[in-house]
Structure 1
Amino acid sequence: MIGYMQSTRYTVLAVTATVILVIAVLIGATTRPGIMTPVTERLVGWVTGHETSIGAAWLTWEDGPVYAIREIDVADRLQAGSIDLRPNWFGFLPGIAMVGSATAASGTVIIDRTGGGSMSTDYESYIDEVSLSGIDVIIRRAYATSRFRIVEGSGSLRGGTLSLDAVAGDGRVYFRGDGKLARVETIAGDATVEGPNLATVAEALGIAAPDVPPFTLNGRLSVNADNWDLTGISGEIGDSDIGGALTVHFREPRPLIEADLSSETLDFDDLGVIIGLPSVNEDGAALNEAQETANARYQQSTRFIPDASIDFSRLSIVDADVRYTAASVVDAPFTISAFNLDLAIENSLLTIEEFTASMVDGQMSLSGTVNGREQPAESDLSGRFDDLDLESIVPDRMARGKLQGRLDLALAGSDFRTAFGNADGSVSFWAEGARLAAVPIEAAGLDIGEALVTLAGQDRDDPVYVEAPCLVASLDISDGIGTADPIVADTEDSVIIVDGTVNLRNETLDLAVKADAKDFSWGTLMGDITVGGSWRDPSITVDAGGGAAQVLFAGLLGAVAGPLAALPFFETGDGKDVPCRSLLDRARSGNALPGGQ
């Protein structure tokens, strides 16, 4: 019996020693890269189902066991300069990950979503905590690819606090929240996105946005399988505040952006980079590349229409449904004080469902389409102008009253200048009961005598006005040439008619101003006024031939009898009223007279 017990004891000791020796050998083997590198390659390849190559793999000790992997490449899934895995002592138990934490640096992670559906959750069975630095993330979808670089990131595949500092395009993304990295449907938290231009950030994420000044956006980000929601937005774009919410739907055949945004105060020049006008950043921020390009083009140009184009490549990769409201607008032309915009993009067709700009007095509204499916792009625009204040539009208090208007244009071209240079349609403005400054009205009819008398008698700060029951300005536009059809000002003193053209192609004027006095006037010259030159630098000339003949006739009369010399300068005042009602009706309807008569 005693012998049997001794034999058993020796057996147990032998087995124990053997186990210890085997463990020691195994542990020793795991510390040798020559042994563990090929073993790890095969194991990772079997788990992932992808061809794998590893530069080196071995077990080391740093406050506990660490399995180090260097220069790993899992084909089309993962590349990393280094991965350190800390095994979990209790990883053999159900519900506990085999790896307590994983640290990866300097590499690329590719997430393939081309088949749709949720991301794979297999890895959460093997790994719990992850810490990443210098990792490029590529998310592939059938219709879009998102790319960003994780500068620093940490979280859990199984659930908990998440932290991310990333670069997307030229912008920076900061995120702090909760969720499971293995299930994107669970991720939600506070996010900040900032950068010199939102367009580069959107491009990196596989969507599209217009060029804008430097920006900062804060909000609550929820990441779902196919939706990204940013709600409670607050921040700035240039010198304008911005708020609201937006959702990106990653759907086929193109992502859809739904946005409902607003600004308490919009600085109008923040739109300059979009429409080709100059812009400044009043907070001292440096201009981005798009702003500098737009500013340089505008400063080098002598044209009025901006040298800007629509990037139709952006319209082709994203659909959109956008609503934007600016409660107040500063630094805007034409006294714009607020506006609302509602637009949609679908398969390169941009539809302006509503654009309404409120003035200090009056309102402008615009709707239409820009079709980027055609080359060159085709646009159709319709607009109305209601109760615009003439005094705020016309310089030097030359007019008072309320102006109405409408436009209907068909354009062809991908940039503003080409599109307007090919324009067809009509533009009309009209006013009933307006008042026009008396001096320029008399001067327009070359009624120099009455103009001088009026000028001498009026208060400089309170000019004399004449009633203008009928004021109509219509252009019939064909192939970029606008023909006056007609331009008429019917006042109590005279009828002024403007004939000629406004060239939208080269932005020049060729207009003849004719006046017919209704009252007896002295000091009237014979001749017409011509308005020419460019829109930015117009010129005004008087027909010298008529005036010279008038002076010669006066000289002959003066040789016979001195007082008769004044006769050529008297206007008998036989001007007739124009058919105001029919002109106003035609302007309202946008119908031109046949042949431009």
Structure 2
Amino acid sequence: LSGPSLAAVGEPLGVTLPTTPAFSMRGRLTREGTRWTTAVRQATIGKSQLSGEFQYDKPENAVPTLTGELRGRELWLADLGPAVGVPAEPGAPRAKKATSRVLPDKQFDLPSLRAMNANVNVKLARFESGSALLQAAEPLNARIVLKDGVLELRDIDARVARGQVAGLMRLDGREPKARWQARLRVSGVHLEQWLNLERKNGQRWVTGVMGGRIALDGVGRSTAELLASADGRMVLYWTDGTVSHLIVEAAGIDIAQGLGLLVRGDDALQVNCGVADLRVKDGMVTPRPMVVDTKDSVVLVDGDMSLATERLNLVAKVDPKDKSPLTLRTPLNIQGTLGDPRLSLQKAPLLRKLVPAAVLGVAVAPLAAIVPLIDLGEDPDDESLRALSECNARLAPVSKRRPGS
């Protein structure tokens, strides 16, 4: 069987299937009464290689039901592009938008989610996002549940860079604008493996272990609309990390000095830990707090970021660990857009540039409250508790400082 899209084949049969590139498949199809059974030995959809067994039951005067198991050597997100609002061919050249917006604004091409119900297990050896910068998930397991117009991706278990992404994603398609919900837990992701950013000398631009929690809700017909209306919270941590000094130099040596960062030769900047508690309301992201502890300083990020306009309005304030009078402590403005961020030092008198230790302490103190709340309704994993406890221990001395100490 072959065709221009799975959706085109499913429509006359009353089966809700996603819009895809042209496909071909080989297998066996049988019918017994109102039940169709198929065993797909091999299916090629774009770059994706899939297989599985499915049953489709369409009794009279009842909603049809699809059950079964989807397996595959690899599934590329781009092959579901039209359905999920991403370009079908990520490698194809595209004209750069004058507004430098980066969030996908292509509307979802979702089939009718009320045409049938479904319960399908998913077992993929490899899930490829299509981004050259991100390592694929190997493997990815989940369960697709569709009932009365509500589509859920349950029991997500994606293994990424020695870590895990787990949780639930939900899409309510009963209204003209889809309602989206994400409840995800990230733990133990090693940035040096997840990010394909290796330098010519074999060293990595960024290293460390990342994790956290994501709980977001949004409404819209595209990724951009969903995030522009998003409400919720994201708590992220970063431990045992480094950043290549070349990234710091690219930002400008004056900016590096202003943040109290000391770059020596080819040494990487050591990042002991970082914590970001990001509150999201109507697409506006506000850090409460966002703190990074490096070998040379503690950096506090304040301000906000709009997912609706993609505008950045952040300020990085610093408390250098070198208390020399010559140490610069100039706040760094992070402005512009997500697609065109701009960094600059604040042009203000020196006394106004300094971050009083007491002020920084007040900002850092709430970190102690993050640990019991980070689960966002779920039991915290050991990795997250260990990482956040480590950050709390490192930042506790900062929160106790007073001016002149």
TM-score interval, normalised by the smaller of the two chains: 0.7 to 0.9
**Alignment check: 8 A CA contact 1:265 1:330 kept:** yes
**Offset at residue 444 of structure 1 (A):** 8.8
In structure 2, the partner of 1:218 is: 26
Letter in 1 for 2:161: V
Q: Distance in 2 between matches of 1:586 and 1:257?
A: 41
In structure 2, the partner of 1:447 is: 257
Q: Distance in 2 between matches of 1:512 and 1:536?
A: 18
In structure 2, the partner of 1:489 is: 292
**Alignment check: 8 A CA contact 1:196 1:214 kept:** yes
Q: What secondary structure does 2:80 align onto?
A: helix
Matched, 1:231 2:39: yes
In structure 1, the partner of 2:83 is: 274
Aligned match for 2:118, one of 320, 326, 349: 320
In structure 1, the partner of 2:54 is: 246
In structure 2, the partner of 1:407 is: 214
Aligned match for 1:204, one of 1, 5, 12: 12
Structure 1 residues 335 and 588, CA, compared in 2 at 3 Å: closer, same or farther? Answer: same
Structure 1 residues 489 and 590, CA, compared in 2 at 3 Å: closer, same or farther? Answer: farther
Q: Distance in 1 between matches of 2:144 and 2:268?
A: 45
Structure 1 residues 330 and 343, CA, compared in 2 at 3 Å: closer, same or farther? Answer: closer
Letter in 1 for 2:42: S
Structure 1 residues 303 and 495, CA, compared in 2 at 3 Å: closer, same or farther? Answer: same
Bigger fraction of residues in helix: 1
In structure 2, the partner of 1:421 is: 228
Matched, 1:539 2:308: no
**Offset at residue 411 of structure 1 (A):** 1.6
After superposition, the C-alpha distances for 1:42-81 in whole angstroms (9 at most, x for unaligned) are: xxxxxxxxxxxxxxxxxxxxxxxxxxxxxxxxxxxxxxxx
Q: What secondary structure does 2:115 align onto?
A: coil
Q: Distance in 2 between matches of 1:246 and 1:387?
A: 35
Q: Distance in 1 between matches of 2:315 and 2:125?
A: 42
Letter in 1 for 2:341: P
**Offset at residue 209 of structure 1 (A):** 0.6
**Offset at residue 376 of structure 1 (A):** 3.6
Residues 388-403 of structure 1 mapped to structure 2, 5 A cutoff = 388-392=189-193, 397-403=204-210
After superposition, the C-alpha distances for 1:227-249 in whole angstroms (9 at most, x for unaligned) are: 11111431211112111112211
Q: Distance in 2 between matches of 1:196 and 1:312?
A: 16
Matched, 1:384 2:196: no
Q: Distance in 2 between matches of 1:258 and 1:446?
A: 57
In structure 1, the partner of 2:391 is: none
Q: Distance in 2 between matches of 1:509 and 1:223?
A: 57
**Offset at residue 493 of structure 1 (A):** 2.2
**Offset at residue 476 of structure 1 (A):** 0.5
**Alignment check: 8 A CA contact 2:38 2:55 kept:** yes
Gaps of 5+ in 1: 1-192, 283-291, 551-567, 592-597
Structure 1 residues 372 and 518, CA, compared in 2 at 3 Å: closer, same or farther? Answer: same
Number of aligned residue pairs: 362
Aligned match for 1:585, one of 366, 371, 375: 371
Q: Distance in 2 between matches of 1:271 and 1:531?
A: 35
Q: What secondary structure does 1:202 align onto?
A: helix
Q: Distance in 1 between matches of 2:146 and 2:183?
A: 18
Letter in 1 for 2:336: G
In structure 2, the partner of 1:465 is: 269
Q: Distance in 2 between matches of 1:401 and 1:332?
A: 23
Identity %: 25
**Offset at residue 446 of structure 1 (A):** 4.8
Residues 41-56 of structure 1 mapped to structure 2, 5 A cutoff = none
After superposition, the C-alpha distances for 1:493-540 in whole angstroms (9 at most, x for unaligned) are: 211000011211122211111101121347644532111122122111
Structure 1 residues 418 and 448, CA, compared in 2 at 3 Å: closer, same or farther? Answer: closer
Letter in 1 for 2:257: D
Q: What secondary structure does 1:272 align onto?
A: helix
In structure 1, the partner of 2:323 is: 520
**Offset at residue 225 of structure 1 (A):** 2.1
TM-score scaled by length of structure 2: 0.77
Q: Distance in 2 between matches of 1:259 and 1:299?
A: 42
TM-score scaled by length of structure 1: 0.54
**Alignment check: 8 A CA contact 1:447 1:521 kept:** no
Q: Distance in 1 between matches of 2:63 and 2:291?
A: 51
Residues 114-263 of structure 1 mapped to structure 2, 5 A cutoff = 193-251=1-59, 252-263=61-72
**Offset at residue 431 of structure 1 (A):** 2.9
Larger Rg, first or second structure (1 or 2)? 1
